[in-house]
């Protein structure tokens, strides 16, 4: 029963929604840096509204400082929720000792997420504490919070500058988590001005020094509307370790309903 | 015996299915995976006089094979899990079981299952009072978490006001016990070939159960009712001129159970309680409960380690003479998660019996991954009991360390 438990997941990139009441002005026209930062965040959400449901395969490659590699495979299903945070289900395929373990997350905009884990050996569904968001996900350089769905309400914003990044014009925005249990004091986020896609994030730890950098690569357009990165690369500057996540076989408009994300039916996950 | 006939009928069913060649082809398209385990236990203390030839080492091997097949777009599934252990020291621990052979149909808001299945009810960690559908495969591990496959018809209805479940359990599985060479059965040498039942239908008594479960924000609630053959036997001495043995007696019971968990920030507050009723004069109705909490510290000592604090207290109305291990006992433990690539983790703690204050036990469970297919686990238990009235007295000399290597395949 004490088999490893606290895996989380769902991808930043697969879990966007937007409060329909908010109408964003064009960020470029705003003077006040905080208003401008918020407008950019809302726009990021807005351009992703309406994805409804998706599923994908994920390959996670963990590297030590010496260059040793370990590979983990999982599958993810996500459901868009318009008036709250999204729902996501992650099922583990390898390593084989955790095969069949399923993790369910109901994210919320105004309160702690609800999380359950299904342990196949015991046929047991356990509800787990979601506040432990700063801990590593499956021994990787991703913390739980790096992988949870982006919700506008979870941060305050400050626009810093325009900058060219990887041949694109980007906004650089400072984001400060509103949750005091976050492992970060702030992050700096590079967002391209054409499609509002996150290109890079610098994470600063509680001592306010640069801890990790996440870069996104291989953006592809799905359903003529939704940009998703094939690859996310996280480097830990302190430990020298890194983790890559590759997304494969991403599909939208999957036949998924609330019943597929019901904690009482988590034993059904395969 | 009954277990053999059960196996025979399952094999018969399988052969019938295989005789339909198109079905056979279908079945072959399912997936198979499993694990092979090699395990060794070492007992430190010299055995007590009742067991002159008792063992100090126990090596065994276990195989688990799972089969999975789905059709109708995943709305129908067949799950099978076969288990077997070969034990070098204890012939009773050499055993096989069909853990699962279950067909399930998934509807929009209902599920129906038929076959041999496994369900888990409850929230606490140190004991599982509410979890009653499956019999405990006690010979596997004294923690009681290994279970035998239970023949069942199960129906679940999912509604906006909770999940309702009904079970019909047409056949009873006896608890497994160690043989005369086993060190953890308290040298009782239980005669599992000659169980005694209150019901004249014996193991064919049809049991039934109901359960309601719902989530109210931070609160998870489960209420259950069970009516039928108790999974927990009463052990009695059978005096016979030729042979003295201990035999299990399985009474009929009605049991009401409740399990509640409150999830508040980093706190998990847990409660399980049961009321068990008998209709035999020598058995008194009783209630029992386990309550406790878990609190997790993230990144302790400036490291990436997480440390969970686990505290649970158990109470049983029958008191110190009632035969329960956890009748007025507290357990304090820690769950250390290293968050490394190997997912290393340890669970350790101490249990203290307040009725027998000289009685305590220590435990440690640890696991780490060697590679994608290999895992290493260790388990150590230390027992101390000085009062012969304490159920733990029987295993006071049986402190042990166990090491296991598991190989996973698919």
Residue B296's domain spans which residues? 33-409
Considering the four listed CATH numbers 2.50.20.10, 2.30.30.100, 2.60.40.1120, 3.40.640.10, the one that applies to the domain covering A12-254 is 2.50.20.10
Which tens digits make up the pLDDT trace of B336-389? 999 888 899 999 999 998 888 778 899 999 999 998 899 999 999 999 888 887
Could you tell me if residue B17 is inside a domain? no
- Rounded to the nearest angstrom, the minimum Cα separation between A98 and chain B is 10
**CATH number (domain holding residue B403):** 2.40.160.10
- Partners of B109 on chain A (C-beta within 8 Å) are 259
Which tens digits make up the pLDDT trace of B288-326? 999 999 999 888 887 889 999 999 999 999 888 777 778
Q: Does B119 touch chain A (CB under 8 A)?
A: yes
Query: Where are the domains positioned within chain A?
Result: 12-254
Quote the mean pLDDT of chain B.
90
Q: Does B159 touch chain A (CB under 8 A)?
A: no
Band the pLDDT of B13: cuts 50, 70, 90. Answer: low
Could you tell me if residue B124 is inside a domain? yes
Could you tell me if residue B346 is inside a domain? yes
In total, how many domains does chain B have? 1
- Partners of A64 on chain B (C-beta within 8 Å) are 341
Assess contact for B309 and B327: CB atoms under 8 A.
Answer: no
**In this complex, which of A64, A127, A268 lies closest to B261 when CB atoms are compared?**
A127
DSSP string, A46-58: HTTTT--EEEEEE
In chain A, which residue's Cα lies nearest the Cα of B376?
Answer: A97
Task: Show pLDDT as tens, one digit a residue, over chain A (270 residues).
Answer: 333 433 333 433 333 333 333 444 678 788 899 999 999 999 998 898 888 999 999 999 999 888 888 899 999 999 998 888 899 999 999 899 989 999 999 988 888 888 999 999 889 999 988 877 788 888 899 988 888 878 888 899 999 999 999 899 999 999 999 988 888 999 999 999 999 999 999 999 988 999 999 999 999 999 999 999 999 999 999 989 999 999 999 999 888 888 889 998 888 888
Q: Where are the alpha helices (DSSP H) in A152-204?
A: none
Helix axes B2-19, B21-28, angle to 10 degrees: 110
Structure tokens at A91: 């099922």
CB contact under 8 A, B163 and A264: yes
pLDDT at res. A213: 97
Q: Does A268 touch chain B (CB under 8 A)?
A: yes
């Amino acid at each position: 029963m004490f088999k490893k438990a606290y895996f989380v997941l769902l991808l930043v990139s697969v879990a966007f929604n937007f409060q329909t009441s908010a109408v964003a002005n064009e960020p470029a026209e705003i003077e006040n840096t905080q208003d401008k930062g918020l407008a950019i965040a809302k726009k990021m959400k807005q351009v992703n509204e309406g994805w409804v449901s998706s599923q994908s395969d994920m390959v996670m490659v963990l590297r030590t400082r010496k260059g040793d590699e370990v590979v983990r495979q999982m599958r993810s299903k996500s459901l868009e929720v318009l008036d709250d945070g999204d729902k996501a289900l992650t099922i583990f395929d390898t390593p084989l000792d955790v095969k069949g373990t399923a993790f369910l997350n109901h994210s919320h905009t105004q309160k702690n997420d609800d999380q359950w884990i299904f342990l196949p050996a015991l046929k047991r569904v356990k509800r787990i504490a979601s506040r432990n968001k700063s801990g590593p996900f499956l021994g990787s350089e991703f913390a739980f919070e790096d992988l949870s769905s982006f919700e506008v309400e979870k941060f305050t914003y400050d626009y810093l500058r325009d900058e060219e990044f990887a041949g694109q014009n980007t906004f650089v925005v400072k984001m400060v988590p509103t949750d005091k249990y976050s492992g970060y004091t702030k992050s700096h986020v590079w967002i391209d001005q054409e499609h509002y896609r996150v290109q890079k994030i610098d994470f600063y730890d509680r001592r306010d020094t640069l801890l990790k950098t996440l870069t996104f690569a291989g953006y592809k357009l799905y359903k003529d509307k939704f940009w998703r990165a094939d690859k996310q690369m996280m480097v830990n500057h302190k430990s020298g370790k890194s983790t890559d996540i590759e997304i494969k076989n991403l599909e939208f408009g999957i036949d998924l309903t609330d019943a597929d994300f019901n904690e009482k039916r988590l034993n059904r996950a395969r | 015996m009954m277990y053999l006939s059960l196996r025979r009928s399952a094999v018969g069913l399988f052969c019938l299915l295989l005789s339909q060649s198109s079905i056979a082809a279908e079945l072959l398209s399912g997936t198979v995976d499993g694990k092979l385990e090699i395990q060794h236990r070492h007992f430190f203390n010299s055995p007590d006089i009742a067991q002159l030839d008792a063992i100090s080492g126990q090596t065994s091997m276990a195989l688990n094979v799972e089969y999975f097949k789905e059709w109708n777009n995943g709305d129908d599934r067949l799950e099978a899990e076969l288990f077997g252990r070969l034990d070098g020291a204890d012939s009773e621990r050499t055993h096989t079981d069909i853990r699962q052979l279950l067909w399930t149909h998934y509807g929009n808001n209902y599920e129906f299952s038929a076959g041999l299945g496994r369900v888990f009810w409850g929230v606490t960690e140190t004991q599982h009072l509410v979890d009653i559908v499956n019999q405990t495969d006690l010979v596997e591990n004294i923690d009681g978490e290994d279970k035998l496959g239970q023949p069942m018809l199960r129906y679940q209805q999912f509604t906006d006001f909770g999940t309702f479940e009904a079970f019909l359990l047409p056949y009873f599985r006896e608890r497994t016990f160690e043989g005369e060479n086993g060190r953890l059965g308290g040298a009782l040498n239980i005669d599992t070939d000659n169980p005694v039942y209150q019901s004249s239908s014996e193991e064919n008594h049809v049991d039934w159960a109901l359960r309601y479960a719902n989530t109210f924000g931070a609160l998870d609630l489960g209420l259950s009712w069970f009516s039928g053959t108790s999974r927990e036997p009463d052990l009695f001495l059978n005096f016979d001129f030729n042979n003295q043995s201990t035999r299990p007696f399985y009474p009929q019971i009605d049991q009401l159970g409740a399990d509640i968990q409150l999830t508040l920030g980093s706190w998990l507050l847990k409660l399980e309680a049961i009321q068990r009723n008998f209709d035999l004069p020598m058995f008194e109705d009783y209630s029992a409960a386990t309550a406790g909490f878990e609190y997790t510290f993230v990144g302790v000592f400036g490291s990436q380690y997480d440390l969970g604090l686990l505290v649970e207290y158990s109470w049983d109305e029958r008191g110190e003479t009632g035969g329960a291990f956890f009748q007025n006992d507290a357990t304090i433990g820690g769950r250390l998660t290293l968050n490394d690539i190997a997912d290393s983790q340890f669970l350790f703690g101490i249990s203290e019996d307040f009725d027998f204050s000289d009685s305590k036990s220590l435990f440690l469970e640890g696991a780490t991954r060697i590679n994608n297919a290999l895992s290493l686990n260790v388990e150590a238990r230390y027992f101390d009991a000085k009062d012969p009235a304490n159920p733990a007295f029987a295993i006071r000399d049986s402190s042990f360390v166990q090491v296991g290597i598991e190989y996973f395949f698919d």
